[in-house]
Amino acid sequence: MADVFIDCEWIHGDYITILGAYSVGQSRFQLYNETLTRRRFSRFVNCCNNRNTSRYVFLFCHGPDVGKIIKHFNLRLKRNYYCINTINAFNRFTRFRTKSLGYLEQQFGLPRTHALSSCEISKLWSSDNRCDRQIVLDYNWEDCVNLWRLVTILKNNYGVTRSDLKAISMDP
């Protein structure tokens, strides 16, 4: 399976500052500053698509990230991939009232080194300190990996199938 688990950070306003994407078997993938380009993101997703053994690739996010990426890069992700907002998946297939990533991580005992607020993320990223920025990158990466873990839990603990996910994918 070569599905992609995406998380974005916005530091100042509505613009993507960091884009992380996890796919099993791939190296850590994060774009920011001058590396945050349409070409690099598309190349990563295409690489995952080429590794795919099933007929379709899913792009997972927790919240509005896919829409932000589509707007930022002017891509047609919803036409080429099954894009799933995991908030909708947890609404549909579980009875959790709260669906924030942090809450779900706690409920399922998922590991987390950094728990940051949006203010903390902004402050750390805006500093000129390389270590502070690395904390934000590590936080973003943990979001990507834990998103994969949450989808795995949906499949294993709640019996959610790829067909179920396909049925709730975002309309093109």
Fold held by 4-167: Nucleotidyltransferase; domain 5 (3.30.420)
Confidence of residue 48 (pLDDT cuts 50, 70, 90): confident
Q: Is the overall model pTM greater than 0.85, yes or no?
A: yes
* Longest pairwise C-alpha distance within the chain: 46
Q: Determine the pLDDT at residue 94.
A: 95
| Tokens linked to 57 | 């690739």
Interval 56-103: pLDDT, tens: 789 999 999 999 999 999 999 999 899 999 999 999 999 998 999 999
Average pLDDT of 8-27? 89
SS3 60: strand
**Contacts made by residues 160-166, CB under 8 angstroms, sequence distance 24+:** 160/89, 160/93, 162/54, 162/56, 162/58, 164/92, 164/93, 165/58, 165/82, 165/84, 165/89, 166/56, 166/58, 166/82
Residue spans of the domains in the chain: they are 4-167
